[in-house]
Amino acid sequence: MLAAAASERLYWRVRDGPAFSEEVQSVSQPWREAGRTELTTRAVEERLDAYVTALMDALG
């Protein structure tokens, strides 16, 4: 069941970020194989960091 309040869903969105951080290489590799060569491991790490930072900033 999806949480009714956006703040309740935020917990799961923030939790997903660190979960992916351990697998950045395995997440970025298929994208590069599909032609997205700009999505290096470092680029994906930076995007993940920016995503989690934006979520945390949304908390105020």
Kindly give, in sequence order, each residue whose CB lies less than 8 Å from that of residue 58, ignoring residues fewer than 6 positions away.
10
Q: Is 29 within the bounds of a domain?
A: yes
Residues 6-32 have pLDDT tens digits of 677 777 777 777 777 778 888 889 989
Q: Is 48 within the bounds of a domain?
A: yes
What's the total number of domains in the chain? 1
**Whole domain around residue 52: which residue ranges?**
7-58
Identify the helix (H) or strand (E) that includes residue 22.
none
Whether the predicted pLDDT of 34 surpasses 80? yes
Of these ranges, 1-5, 11-15, 44-48, the one predicted with the greatest mean pLDDT is 44-48
Q: Could you tell me if 28 and 39 are in contact, meaning their C-beta atoms sit under 8 angstroms apart?
A: yes
